[in-house]
Amino acid sequence: MSRTLGVLRQLLDQALPGHRPAHEDYELVETVPRLPTTSTTDDDEPTLAEAESLGLRRIAAPVPWPTLALSLVEFAERASYYGAGGVFANFVQRPLPPGSTTGAPMKEGDTPGAMGLGLRVSAALTTTFTMLAFSSPLLGGYLADTRWGRFRSIAFGALLAGLAHAASIWAALPVVITSGTSLPPFLLTLVLLGLSAGLIKASIAPIMAGQCPPDRVRYIPSPSSSLPSTSLPPPSVSDVDIEEGGTEGGEWVVESQELTISRVMGLYYASINVGAFVALGSVWAEAKVGFWAAFAIPGAIFCLMPPLLWVVKPRLVPEAEPSSSALTRVWHVLRDRPRDTAEPFRSSLEETERIVPQEEEPVSAHRLGDESEGSEGSEDGWDFADPPSLDDDRGIETPEPLPADPDRDIRQALKACTLFLWFAIYNVAPGLNSATISLAGAMRGTLPNDALDKMNPLAVICAVPVLNWVYQRLEARGIHLGPVRRVVIGFGLTSLSMLYLALIQAAVYATSPCGTLATDCAQKSPLSNLLVAPGPLLQGVSEALAVVSGMQLAYTMSPPGLQSLVTAVFLSMVAASGALVLLLLPLLRDPLLVYPFALTSLAVAAAGYCVHRRYAHLDT
């Protein structure tokens, strides 16, 4: 196996002969800060300061192939997670169908089952699994930043996931199901798979974003030009059109790390949703073959992870050594935090300098000599000082920057965490998915309810590349749609989706033969359940805006020693929103089903407004 992987790595090197690890590529170009600078590596190569003065176009850099490989790792992890977790409920709740030993029903219309422990036990175990999967990233982030490092955390999480899938297949073997001993290996599966999800999710997005090169200036030939992009020398900066940034043979552009990270986070989130789609294979297998096949499919997909990690490891940008120093600084900042914390925070991708305004020295009159009449100077003994000279000690003093705040990056990361708290409200909308499916079930069945459930990931998969294209076009026109503004737009779309579903629920009550008791009515509303589809589709587009941008903020606003932990804080908001969904449970019944959608719409809209008011300055 290792020999095969070695050959695969050699083939990759031959396919990319000029490729080197991303960290080596950093040395080929000048890393340019956002403030003007006079340093340059070549008389013909503009610095970013010159690029900004010329109005050069900002584009995303090509995604490094190690990042693409890591996106496949995330796809394999999510497909295996959703594939196994999607059949947990039936495996626990339902008994074996008559005449079956695998859990698959023997006749049409029966439901797959295995252990037959009932709804309450099934709900308790699946809820525990979900809470563990979305709270364990806090542990995974802590270990990645302070003990193991990101790659080692991912590798250990993959090991736990492999053991979990083996235990799930063991629990689903016909001989184990019929003997009534499936519960112990199934509980082991819940614990190991939940912990592995936390270890992997806390580190995979930061390590993908860490492969993105810094800001750099690059010359791109036009498609009709025979000059390759790596040829030297490119046209002089003096030949660049001030308005367009281009020449007859191509153009100078700025490859922006911020735009590249945004594209990488979109790729990360799309990988998650593609994995959710592939998990439908397990649902089919439990009904047609049995639970052993339903658990074997995600286990087989998981087998992509180890070889991908082995191949990509030598090509990754070296990580900073894990250390607890950043956490210690967080403690000191929280302990000594002043009452007034209104200082604005900026992205860690920007280098800023604050200059204290200096007052000019006033022109003053002074007495020369002694005060007695006839002393040297003017006739009356007074003389006026000349205006201060820049070359004179009496001139304007050179402005000096304020001493840098050594804990500015820590305060910035804490600011990001306060922004993420609003996502607990935002995530209530996906938490009402069961109410959305129930709404569709009360309407005429044009589309299966399970298909409606998959419209959200479908919208995410389609929206991510479209939004990346939109961001590029906006940047080309000088419009910077920063991550906070994208979060606010995402909140707005989710609010609209909840308002739309509230109106559809009201329409169902108005048209159902049972009136406001439509959910359990034997006769359906004449409205088509296709009318529900815009709700999940809007939520999917919203997630492609808000969640992807939230992941970007978690990375760019954190120091290297806290990136995994801050990402874990963002991910844990899904678990926090579960507590808020519990508050809406008394309203999840007829005739009150309009209110959960309406209240969530108002709450998400208010949260979006607060995010805009409190954090819009982060985009400047």
Same structural domain for residues 588 and 475? yes
Q: What is the mean pLDDT of residues 521-538?
A: 88
Please, which residues bridge with residue 221 across strands?
Answer: 250
Contact 54, 262 (CB under 8 A): no
pLDDT(346) > 80: no
Q: Ranked by mean pLDDT, which of 68-82, 240-254, 361-375, 394-408 comes out on top?
A: 68-82
Which residues touch 492 (CB under 8 Å, ≥6 apart)?
542, 605, 608
Residue 178, in any domain of the structure: yes
Residue 523 is predicted with a pLDDT of: 84
Residues 282, 417, single domain; the answer is: no
555 in a structural domain: yes
In a domain, 346, yes or no: no
202 touches 156 (CB < 8 A): no
Quickly count: other Cβ atoms within 10 Å of residue 452's Cβ.
22
Task: Report the sign of the C-alpha dihedral through residues 232, 238, 240, 245, in that order.
Answer: positive
The count of domains in the chain is 2
> What is the pLDDT at residue 8?
52
Domain presence at residue 332? no
Buried b (16+ CB within 10 A) or exposed e, 496-522: bbbbbbbbbbeebbebbebeeebbeee
**Domain span at residue 424?**
406-619
Whether the bond into 228 is cis, omega within 30 of 0? no
Whether the pLDDT of residue 610 is over 90: the answer is yes
Contact 129/84 with Cβ under 8 angstroms?
Answer: no
The per-residue pLDDT for range 208-222, each reduced to its tens digit, is 998 988 888 887 776
Closest listed residue to residue 147, CA positions, set 158, 159, 156, 135: 156
> Lowest-pLDDT range, 78-92, 351-365, 379-393, 408-422?
351-365
Whether 326 has a pLDDT exceeding 50, the answer reads yes
pLDDT of residue 544: 93
Report residue 253: phi and psi, to 5°.
-135, 165
Whether residue 499 is found in the same domain as residue 599 = yes
Question: Taking 70 as the threshold, does the pLDDT of residue 10 lie above it?
Answer: no
Domain finish residue from 273, 292, 316:
316
Ramachandran angles phi, psi of 304, nearest 5°: -70, -25
Span 37-68, pLDDT tens digits: 333 344 455 676 666 667 777 888 888 889 99
Q: For residues 557 and 416, what is the distance between their CA atoms, to the nearest angstrom?
A: 7
**CA gyration radius, the chain:** 30
Last residue of a domain, one of 316, 339, 363: 316
Top-confidence residue, 102 or 448: 102
Quick one: 143 and 284 in the same domain? Answer: yes
Q: What's the CATH code of the domain at 442?
A: 1.20.1250.20
In a domain, 489, yes or no: yes
CA distances from 194 to 83, 127, 241 (A): 13, 11, 56
Domain assignment of residue 175, yes or no = yes
Q: How far apart are CA 583 and CA 581, in angstroms?
A: 5
Same domain, 595 and 497: yes
Task: Please report the pLDDT score of residue 400 as a whole number.
Answer: 53
User: Which residues, 6+ apart, have CB-to-CB distance to 90 below 8 Å?
Assistant: 103, 111, 112, 113, 114, 286
Q: Which residue has the tokens 């100078």?
A: 252
pLDDT of residue 282: 86
Q: For 417-472, how does the pLDDT look when each residue is reduced to its tens digit (9 = 90+)? A: 899 999 999 999 988 887 887 888 788 876 766 567 778 888 999 999 999 899 88
Structure confidence at residue 342 as a pLDDT band (50, 70, 90): very low
Residues present in the chain in total: 620
Cα gap 574→428, rounded to integer Å: 8
Q: Answer whether residue 377 is part of any domain.
A: no
Of the ranges 330-339, 383-392, 457-466, 518-527, the best mean pLDDT one: 457-466
Categorize the per-residue pLDDT at 233 as very low, low, confident or very high, splitting at 50, 70 and 90.
very low
pLDDT digits (tens, 9 = 90+) for 364-410: 444 444 444 444 444 444 444 444 444 444 444 555 554 556 677 78
If asked whether residues 443 and 311 sit together in one domain, one would say no
One domain for residues 204 and 305: yes
* 410 and 308 inside one domain: no
- Per-position DSSP letters for 515-575, written without gaps between them: GGG-TT-SSPEEEEGGGGTHHHHHHHHHHHHHHHHHHHHHHHTS-GGGHHHHHHHHHHHHH
Same domain, 419 and 312: no
Q: What share of the chain is helix, strand, coil (3-state, %, to 5)?
A: 60, 5, 35
Q: Measured between alpha carbons, how far is 498 from 509 in angstroms, rounded to an integer? A: 17
- Which of 299, 316, 333 lies at the terminal end of a domain, its last residue? 316
Q: Which residues contact 30 (CB under 8 A, 6 or more apart)?
A: 39, 40, 41, 45, 47, 216, 217
Distance CA(407)–CA(386), nearest Å, equals: 45
Domain for residue 152, yes or no? yes
Question: pLDDT band at 248, cuts 50/70/90?
Answer: low
CA distance linking residue 276 with residue 81, whole number of Å: 9
Distance, in Å, from the CA atom of 550 to the CA atom of 609, rounded to the nearest integer, reads: 16
Q: Domain check: are 293 and 431 in the same one?
A: no
Give the lowest-confidence range in 35-44, 83-92, 173-182, 219-228.
35-44
> For residue 57, what pLDDT is reported?
79
275 neighbors 76 (Cβ within 8 angstroms): yes
Give the H or E element holding residue 477: none
Label each residue of 431-458 as H, E or C. Answer: HCHHHHHHHHHCEECCCCHHHHHCHHHH
Please give, one letter per residue, the 3-state secondary structure of 308-352. HHHHHHHHCCCCCCCCCHHHHHHHHHHHCCCCCCCCCCCCCCCCC
The better pLDDT of the pair 599, 329 is held by: 599
User: How distant, in Å, are the alpha carbons of 88, 402, 578 from that of 454?
Assistant: 18, 53, 20
What mean pLDDT is predicted for residues 154-160? 94
